[in-house]
């Protein structure tokens, strides 16, 4: 890949080619006849030779980007522009967030030069001699090189206080700060962090073993609720009082409340120096570099981050949901914010008060979003039909539209935005709900049908009227007749009108639009995990923030997200009988803390 970061020449592709089964560089406008048709990496200039077919497509490169030259792909049919991505980088990010699903080889001789290196102790027992067990580990001797080694038989092998694992697990998901856990357990800070590392590994292993078979479950329909949430990390040095601001993307299956994934745009397993070195070797610092031809375009570079932070007008990225706005004002503000971004699919631009993490690497949110969407698609691939409800967010729209494009073309998937008024008192919400119930009752009586059918008809009529009067589908926001405590004054925007659906069909989709499952999960996460308690500031009070409860290491936030979402899926119950995993089909009953703490991979194949 050396030299691919330089400005395009006749010998280089104009866009990245497909990688394995991934090619996202196509029109992502479902209303366009060119939707899903990939652009060609090479389009020769000039007229084709006599008798040869013209190697053309319906795309041109747009060179007016502020981030890098030739950053956008413009569809000639609908005239919309789309951000260009590296398919290889999406695959790499997909591998990162789904690594816990992959099986790992069984234990074998650790000597690299031995003939039995990679030869499993369970599949080829004749290659080894058992030396007995001790301290929760089985000893083996390799018959080829005579080396002995141990294989753990218990998850808690070599732990000094395994009886405290459950206490730490239960306390950490119940709003107990780490200092409080130290006081309750008598453990040192280092010991508590060691147990968090252990619980993180156990949660990943336990969930990975079950979720690796999620795609085999056949379903008639799934409803997916998607949103993202920002988190602040404290600075470690007074000389650099800047926050690390990270974002996680989450999808919750609505009917079961199962959290299908909660992925942070942060990779703790490599460091910034490795990324910078790879970029230098690839020529990524040369003038005219195109971001999607970098060695690892999914990662932020120091120079890139400093440049964007230096020209920012904000201290940190704002949270519009925390502002006192009507729902219509909120829609307008978010739309205007995205239009003013250099690239609407990259909303994670840093502010002046932000910095990169000194440990690990921050990923570009769009690459994490595309990988997240493809992983979710894998989990629900056994469903015949999928409906996706998302917050008003261009990066989420593009990622899920791209991932589900084949199903959208086959009329087996739909997507809609959901927006509602965020800042209202509980009394205002209750009063609004009572009024909306009267409206729904009136609609039901007028239609002489069921309540659900009446709402569907209302939404279908509203959409038909909006479609006939507004040619731009991005402006066809439809009011929902029912306001709830969680979602007052709902507005819905249908995103996947391919022209083949009747208003009645679209009305069914719009009538069930909600973000309540993912919003409820986010609310519990904020309330139960001290690291993540305080929300991001609004435009009016944005400043450099420090909190005694916030983490100093982004890796701890990543661990907390994993531990809490596994706890939510498998342990937490409302009635003592059922969990989201039971409803989703990945468990037969509630799981105990001990089931995760003492989980061990099954021989002969050890999932991570």
Work out the average pLDDT over 256-275. 96
Position 470 pLDDT exceeds 80: yes
Q: Name which of 535, 554, 553 is nearest 545 in CA terms.
A: 535
Q: How far apart are CA 505 and CA 502, in angstroms?
A: 5
Does 449 fall in a domain? Answer: yes
Predicted pLDDT at 586: 97
- Give the chain's domain count: 1
Q: Name which of 393, 395, 330 is nearest 539 in CA terms.
A: 330
Predicted pLDDT at 546: 54
Position 491 pLDDT exceeds 80: yes
Q: How far apart are CA 568 and CA 427, in angstroms?
A: 30
Predicted pLDDT at 6: 38
Handedness of CA 34, 366, 7, 311 (dihedral sign): positive
Predicted pLDDT at 8: 41
Q: What's 7-42 look like in SS3?
A: CCCCCCCCCCCCECCECCCEECCCCCCCECCECCCC
Q: Which residue is it, tokens 């006081």?
A: 183
Q: Name which of 309, 331, 375 is nearest 102 in CA terms.
A: 375
Per DSSP, the residues of 339-398 read HHSSSTT------TTB---SSSEEBPHHHHHHHHHHHHHHHTTTEEEEEEEE-S-HHHHH
Q: How far apart are CA 516 and CA 514, in angstroms?
A: 6
Position 540 pLDDT exceeds 60: no
Which secondary-structure segment (H or E) carries 163?
A: none
Work out the average pLDDT over 216-241. 88
Position 537 pLDDT exceeds 60: no
Predicted pLDDT at 49: 60
Strand order in the sheet with 81-83: 59-62, 72-75, 81-83
Predicted pLDDT at 338: 93
Q: Is 137 in contact with 159 (CB distance < 8 Å)?
A: no
Read off the pLDDT of residues 161-188 as tens digits, 9 standing for 90 and up: 999 999 999 999 998 888 899 999 999 9
Q: 61: which 2 tokens? A: 């490169």
Does 464 fall in a domain? Answer: yes
Q: What are the start-end ranges of the E strands in 47-117? A: 59-62, 72-75, 81-83, 103-104
Position 519 pLDDT exceeds 60: yes
Helix, strand, coil in percent for the chain, rounding step 5: 40, 15, 45
Does 136 fall in a domain? Answer: no
Round the average pLDDT of the chain to a whole number and report it.
90
Read off the pLDDT of residues 16-27 as tens digits, 9 standing for 90 and up: 999 999 999 999
| Half-sphere exposure at residue 343, Cβ-oriented, CA atoms within 13 angstroms | 26
Q: Which of 294-308, 389-403, 538-552 has the lowest mean pLDDT?
A: 538-552
Q: Identify which has the larger pLDDT, 421 or 320.
A: 421
Q: Which of 37-41, 61-65, 79-83, 302-306 has the lowest mean pLDDT?
A: 61-65
pLDDT over 90, % of the chain:
74
pLDDT band at 552 (very low <50, low <70, confident <90, very high): confident
Work out the average pLDDT over 22-50. 87
Q: Which of 57-71, 274-288, 336-350 has the lowest mean pLDDT?
A: 57-71
Which secondary-structure segment (H or E) carries 491?
A: strand 491-494
Position 330 pLDDT exceeds 90: yes
Predicted pLDDT at 474: 94
Q: 464: which 2 tokens? A: 């038909």
Does 436 fall in a domain? Answer: yes
pLDDT band at 608 (very low <50, low <70, confident <90, very high): very low
Work out the average pLDDT over 195-216. 96
Q: What are phi and psi of 530, to 5 degrees?
A: -60, -35
Q: Is 225 in contact with 250 (CB distance < 8 Å)?
A: no
Position 458 pLDDT exceeds 60: yes
165: which DSSP letter?
H
Predicted pLDDT at 257: 97
pLDDT band at 549 (very low <50, low <70, confident <90, very high): low
Position 9 pLDDT exceeds 50: no
Predicted pLDDT at 538: 47
Position 301 pLDDT exceeds 60: yes
The C-alpha angle 552, 554, 558, rounded to 5 degrees, equals 135
Q: What's 434-470 look like in SS3?
A: HHHHHHHHHHHHHHCCCHHHHHHHHHHHHHHHHHHHC
Does 274 fall in a domain? Answer: no
Read off the pLDDT of residues 554-585 as tens digits, 9 standing for 90 and up: 999 999 999 999 999 999 998 778 999 999 99
Does 484 fall in a domain? Answer: yes
Position 225 pLDDT exceeds 80: yes
Q: How far apart are CA 546 and CA 237, in angstroms?
A: 12
Does 524 fall in a domain? Answer: no
pLDDT over 70, % of the chain:
91
Q: What are phi and psi of 267, to 5 degrees?
A: -115, 110
Position 160 pLDDT exceeds 60: yes
Position 544 pLDDT exceeds 70: no
Owning domain of residue 475:
421-490
Which secondary-structure segment (H or E) carries 415?
A: strand 413-419
Read off the pLDDT of residues 352-386 as tens digits, 9 standing for 90 and up: 889 999 899 999 999 999 999 999 999 999 999 99
For the entire predicted model, the pTM comes to: 0.93
Predicted pLDDT at 5: 42
Position 52 pLDDT exceeds 70: no
Q: What are the start-end ranges of the E strands in 20-174? A: 59-62, 72-75, 81-83, 103-104, 128-134, 137-142, 148-152
Q: What are phi and psi of 298, to 5 degrees?
A: -75, -10
């Amino acid at each position: 890949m050396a030299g691919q970061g330089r400005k395009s020449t006749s010998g280089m592709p104009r866009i990245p080619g497909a990688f394995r089964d991934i090619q996202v560089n196509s029109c992502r406008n479902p209303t366009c006849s060119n939707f899903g048709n990939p652009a060609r990496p090479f389009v020769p200039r000039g007229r084709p030779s006599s008798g040869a077919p013209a190697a053309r497509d319906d795309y041109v490169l747009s060179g007016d980007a502020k981030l890098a030259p030739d950053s956008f792909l413009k569809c000639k049919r609908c005239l919309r522009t789309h951000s260009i991505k590296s398919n290889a980088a999406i695959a790499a990010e997909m591998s990162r967030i789904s690594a816990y699903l992959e099986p790992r080889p069984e234990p074998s001789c650790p000597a690299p030069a031995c003939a039995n290196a990679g030869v499993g102790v369970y599949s080829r027992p004749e290659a080894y001699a058992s030396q007995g067990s001790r301290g929760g580990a089985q000893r083996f001797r390799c018959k080829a090189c005579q080396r002995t080694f141990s294989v753990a038989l218990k998850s808690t092998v070599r732990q000094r206080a395994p009886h405290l694992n459950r206490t730490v697990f239960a306390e950490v998901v119940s709003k107990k700060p780490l200092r409080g856990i130290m006081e309750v357990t008598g453990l040192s800070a280092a010991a508590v962090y060691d147990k968090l590392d252990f619980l993180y590994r156990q949660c990943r292993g336990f969930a990975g073993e079950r979720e690796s078979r999620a795609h085999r479950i056949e379903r008639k329909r799934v409803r997916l609720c998607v949103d993202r949430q920002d988190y602040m990390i404290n600075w470690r040095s007074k000389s650099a009082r800047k926050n690390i601001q990270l974002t996680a993307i989450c999808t919750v299956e609505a009917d079961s409340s199962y959290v299908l994934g909660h992925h942070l745009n942060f990779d703790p397993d490599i460091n910034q120096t490795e990324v910078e070195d790879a970029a230098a070797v690839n020529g990524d610092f040369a003038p005219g570099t195109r971001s999607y031809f970098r060695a690892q375009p999914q990662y932020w570079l120091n120079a890139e981050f400093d440049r964007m932070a230096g020209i920012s007008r904000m201290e940190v990225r704002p949270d519009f949901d925390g502002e006192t706005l009507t729902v219509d004002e909120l829609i307008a503000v978010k739309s205007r914010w995205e239009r003013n971004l250099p690239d609407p699919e990259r909303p994670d631009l840093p502010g002046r008060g932000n910095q990169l993490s000194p440990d690990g690497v921050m990923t570009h949110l769009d690459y994490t979003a595309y990988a997240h969407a493809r992983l979710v698609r894998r989990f629900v691939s056994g469903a015949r039909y999928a409906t996706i409800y998302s917050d008003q967010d261009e990066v989420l729209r593009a990622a899920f539209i791209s991932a589900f494009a084949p199903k959208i073309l086959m009329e087996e998937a739909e997507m809609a935005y959901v927006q509602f008024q965020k800042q209202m008192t509980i009394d205002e919400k209750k009063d609004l709900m009572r009024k909306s119930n009267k409206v729904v009752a009136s609609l039901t009586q007028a239609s002489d049908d069921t309540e659900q059918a009446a709402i569907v008809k209302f939404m279908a009529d509203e959409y038909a009227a909006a479609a006939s009067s507004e040619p731009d589908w991005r402006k066809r926001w439809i009011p929902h007749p029912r306001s709830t405590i969680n979602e007052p004054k709902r507005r819905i925007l249908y995103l996947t009108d391919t022209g083949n659906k009747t208003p009645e069909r679209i009305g069914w989709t719009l009538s069930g639009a909600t973000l309540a499952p993912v919003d409820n999960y986010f609310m519990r996460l904020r309330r139960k995990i001290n690291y993540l308690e305080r929300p991001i500031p609004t435009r009016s009070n944005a400043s450099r923030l420090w909190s005694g409860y916030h983490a100093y290491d982004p890796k701890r936030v990543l661990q907390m997200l994993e531990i809490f979402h596994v706890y939510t899926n498998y342990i937490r119950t409302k009635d003592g009988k059922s969990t989201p995993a039971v409803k989703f089909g990945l468990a037969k009953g509630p799981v105990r803390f001990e089931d995760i703490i003492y989980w061990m991979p099954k021989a002969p194949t050890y999932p991570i």
